[in-house]
Amino acid sequence: RSQSVVSNMAAATSDSIGAAIGVAGRRGPKRVFVERDYSRGTAVRFEMKFPRELEGRVDEQAFLDVICRINAICDEAEHIGCASCLEGTLAWLTLFTIHMCTRTNYEKCLDTIADYVRQKNVTLFNPRGLTMVDPMERGLRVVSTISLCVCVCVCV
């Protein structure tokens, strides 16, 4: 009997966690993912595919423009030029203590992506009942879009 109680509690906990994080096939917000594109190697880049789950919710070209801009910022972050070489050399010469005083170009680009996603949520996604999650929150593995449940209450 105690074993069945424990397994029932585990199942209930699993269901509530699933509902909270929106696991596919369970209650909660629906999530749509745009996976990483490894066709050009391991550089951070996301697939330029429009998820069919978003058809009718957001304009395809507007969505692809957002993904394209995120990809462009990621390309800028991973660009190796004079500035990044100087940054690496200064880090090495200061035993990497310079990173306590300044942010790296990569960190600045990640902040730019976060700001851009926040801006697009306000102007493009939120009015349509969607929210795009900053890719850094998912370890730069996916760009996820959450379909928000909009409840309308009528007070009499």
Is 60 exceeded by the pLDDT of residue 20? no
- For the stretch 71-105, pLDDT in tens is 999 999 999 999 899 999 999 999 999 999 999 99
81, with CB counted inside 10 A (0-12, 13-18, 19+), is exposed
Q: What is the pLDDT of residue 27?
A: 55
Measured CA to CA, the distance from residue 92 to residue 89 in angstroms comes to 5
Q: 28: pLDDT confidence band, cut at 50, 70 and 90?
A: low
Q: Considering the chain, what is the average pLDDT of its residues?
A: 81
- Sign of dihedral through CA atoms 114, 115, 116, 118? positive
Q: Is 90 exceeded by the pLDDT of residue 2? A: no
Question: H or E segment at 143?
Answer: strand 142-147
pLDDT value of residue 148? 75
pTM: 0.74
